[in-house]
């Protein structure tokens, strides 16, 4: 049996080793999930809801432990990791309301009545990336379970620890064996098997556009349902009429949150030409004040990158001679550190401007007017997120409608909430997660005609 050593990204020291599942073990887990699903879908809605609430309570009772695991295994700052563990609890509680609300319609027709039912799809394969191991795991897992499906989840090789622990908590809370299984292993082995196996009826994948495209092609073989959350290259658009102080003060957190390893990172700041100089004066201290350091320190705002290989990848976007306007700080010594970095001015063909860096690197580009801002924002194959800063309500709405992206914020740098839909336009993905309609993606609508004549 092969093992993977999880490293602490802040120290480069081993945290623990995790056994890696192979294709046969994946098949066995899928078989258990198929069996368990027959019983799970038959659990009375109120009882399924109660089990999910007990699961949420078990997570709540272990928030500190889960946060510590994420600090050690993923390098997330303690405050963020604590929030993330609480988020898993909240997502479970939100979707614990689903079982009792999975109601259909009755449609009068000549000679009878049609009724509709929301039937679970069956076994759901959940493929989770390393950047937000807890939240992204919960976004697929909670609505899938609530809708009567069973779940086989593959965490990222680099960051499996919290998902493994959360699945143990599910068992402790009384979820039956086989309803939620976490299978650590390689994407090309476990993830691929989930995609290829005919009895996995839906895949929820979050990760790179490249692998997402392969997953989608694999799902085509069995017309498997698929939700994809992929990359982003989002714009933070700052108009001259905005509260420039707030826009500049929050811009670092819009892109350097989780060390920039965030598909929603606003990694292109677009600033109206007339206020560019003033904006840069305000942005510089904001960037330099980001507290980068030991993730276990409660005051830390930004931790290390996930791995040495990823740091090398991020560094390739800031080669010698790159147009660095200014940078924040980062610790020396062990750990995969990279300082917050602002690039300006950048050429339109600079990879830091055109590609998803997935690290703490942001570009600043001026624009002339509203039409110019929208054109620049949309000049990317991605369309996941973004922000608009303006005091003109009409402009806020016009630009929101014109930017081709799934989750926008006006005069704010955050746009992801579990009770609102999340997902991308263009190559940023397919389908929507979160929000009240998420269970629709985990059920099939069945339509039954009942003759009355
Ligand atoms: P990947 O797309 O490679 O990995 C995401 C998940 O898919 C992981 O669990 C991975 O497993 C799994 N996987 C890999 N290959 C396959 C496969 N053939 N079949 C099924 N599952 C597979 O992303 P990376 O982690 O390599 O990151 C690369 C880039 O992707 C980042 O730099 C960023 O641009 C983007 N990304 C975007 C994310 C987002 O939130 N939208 C999240 C993560 C990455 P494992 O890694 O364990 O082998």
DSSP string, 212-224: HHHHHHHHHTTT-
Active site residues per annotation: 229, 263
pTM: 0.97
**Six-digit token string for 335:** 């750990």
Residue 41 to residue 288: CA distance in whole angstroms: 53
State in Å: Cα 268 to ligand 1 middle.
Answer: 22
CA angle 97–33–143, rounded 5-degree value:
20
Q: Burial, 288: exposed, middle or buried (Cβ in 10 Å; 0-12, 13-18, 19+)?
A: middle
C-beta 219 within 6 A of ligand 1:
no
Supply the DSSP symbol for 320. Answer: T
**Six-digit token string for 446:** 């069945």
Supply the DSSP symbol for 189. Answer: I
**Six-digit token string for 118:** 């929301």
Residue 296 to residue 282: CA distance in whole angstroms: 29
Write the CA distances from 237 to 240, 242, 412, integer angstroms.
10, 10, 11
The stretches of 303-404 forming alpha helices (DSSP H) are 308-315, 351-354, 370-378, 393-402
Which parts of the chain sit beneath pLDDT 70?
Answer: none
Would you call 64 helix, strand, or coil by DSSP?
Answer: helix
Half-sphere exposure of 316 (CA within 13 A, CB side): 10
State in Å: Cα 207 to ligand 1 middle.
Answer: 4
Assign residue 431 a region (left: φ > 0; alpha: ψ between -120 and 50; beta: otherwise).
left
* Confidence at residue 22, expressed as pLDDT on a 0 to 100 scale: 98
Write the CA distances from 85 to 88, 148, 298, 439, integer angstroms.
5, 24, 15, 22
C-beta 231 within 6 A of ligand 1:
yes
> Are the beta carbons of 92 and 142 closer than 8 angstroms?
yes
Residue 145 to residue 386: CA distance in whole angstroms: 31
State in Å: Cα 129 to ligand 1 middle.
Answer: 5
Atom of ligand 1 at shortest distance to CA of 132? 40
**Six-digit token string for 378:** 């949309």
In 3D, which of 450, 171, 253, 231 has the Cα closest to residue 358?
231
C-beta 192 within 6 A of ligand 1:
yes
> Are the beta carbons of 184 and 157 closer than 8 angstroms?
yes
Q: Whose CA is nearest to atom 19 of ligand 1?
A: 192
C-beta 265 within 6 A of ligand 1:
no
Residue 13 to residue 5: CA distance in whole angstroms: 10
Would you call 418 helix, strand, or coil by DSSP?
Answer: coil
In 3D, which of 297, 231, 290, 320 has the Cα closest to residue 81?
297
C-beta 135 within 6 A of ligand 1:
no
**Six-digit token string for 185:** 């292993």
Name residues whose C-beta falls within 8 Å of residue 301's C-beta, 6 or more positions apart in sequence. 77, 79, 253, 256, 290, 291, 292
Name residues whose C-beta falls within 8 Å of residue 127's C-beta, 6 or more positions apart in sequence. 153, 154, 187, 191, 194, 203, 204, 205, 206, 207, 215
State in Å: Cα 31 to ligand 1 middle.
Answer: 25
* Confidence at residue 415, expressed as pLDDT on a 0 to 100 scale: 84
Q: If you count DSSP H runs as helices and E runs as strands, how many of each does the chain have, helices first?
A: 14, 18
3-state helix, strand, coil in the chain (%, to 5): 40, 20, 35
Q: What backbone torsions phi and psi does residue 387 show, to the nearest 5 degrees?
A: -135, 155
Residue matched to tokens 């009770």: 419
């Amino acid at each position: 049996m092969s093992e993977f050593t999880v490293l602490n990204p802040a120290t480069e020291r081993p945290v623990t080793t995790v056994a890696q599942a192979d294709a046969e073990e994946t098949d066995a887990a899928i078989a258990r999930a198929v069996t368990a699903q027959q019983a799970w879908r038959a659990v009375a809605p109120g009882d399924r809801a109660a089990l999910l609430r007990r699961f949420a309570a078990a997570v709540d009772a272990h928030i500190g432990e889960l946060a510590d695991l994420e600090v050690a295994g993923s390098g997330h700052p303690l405050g963020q990791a604590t929030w993330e563990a609480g988020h898993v609890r909240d997502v479970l509680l939100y979707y614990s309301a689903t079982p009792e609300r999975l109601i259909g319609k009755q449609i009068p027709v000549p000679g009878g009545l049609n009724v509709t039912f929301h039937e679970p799809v069956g076994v759901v394969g959940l493929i989770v990336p390393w950047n937000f191991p807890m939240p992204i795991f919960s976004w697929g897992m909670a609505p899938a379970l609530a809708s009567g499906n069973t779940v086989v989840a593959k965490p990222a090789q680099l960051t499996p620890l919290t998902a493994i622990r959360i699945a143990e908590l599910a068992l402790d809370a009384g979820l039956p064996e086989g309803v939620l299984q976490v299978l650590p292993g390689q994407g090309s082995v476990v993830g691929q098997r989930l995609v290829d196996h005919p009895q996995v009826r839906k895949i929820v994948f979050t990760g790179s556009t490249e692998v997402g495209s392969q997953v989608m092609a694999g799902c085509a073989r069995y017309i498997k349902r698929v939700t994809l959350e992929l990359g982003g290259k989002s714009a933070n658009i700052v108009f001259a009429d905005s509260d420039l102080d707030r826009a500049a003060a929050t811009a670092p957190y819009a892109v350097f949150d989780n060390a920039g390893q965030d598909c929603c990172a606003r990694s292109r700041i677009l600033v109206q030409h007339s206020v560019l100089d003033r904006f840069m004066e305000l942005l510089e201290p904001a960037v330099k004040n980001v507290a980068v350091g030991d993730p276990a320190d409660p005051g830390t705002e930004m931790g290390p990158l996930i791995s040495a290989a990823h740091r090398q990848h991020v560094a390739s976007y800031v080669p010698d001679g790159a147009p660095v306007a200014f940078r924040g700080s980062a610790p020396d010594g062990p750990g995969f550190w990279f300082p917050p970095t602002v690039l300006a001015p950048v050429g339109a063909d600079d990879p830091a401007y055109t590609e998803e860096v997935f690290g703490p690197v942001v570009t600043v580009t001026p624009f002339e007017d509203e039409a110019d801002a929208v054109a620049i924002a949309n000049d990317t194959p991605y369309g996941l997120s973004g922000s608009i800063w303006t005091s003109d309500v009409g402009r806020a709405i016009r630009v929101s409608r014109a930017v081709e992206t799934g989750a926008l914020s006006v005069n704010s740098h955050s746009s992801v909430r579990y009770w609102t839909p999340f997902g991308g336009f263009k190559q940023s993905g397919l389908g929507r997660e979160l929000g009240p309609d998420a269970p629709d993606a985990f059920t099939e609508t069945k339509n039954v005609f009942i003759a009355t004549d």
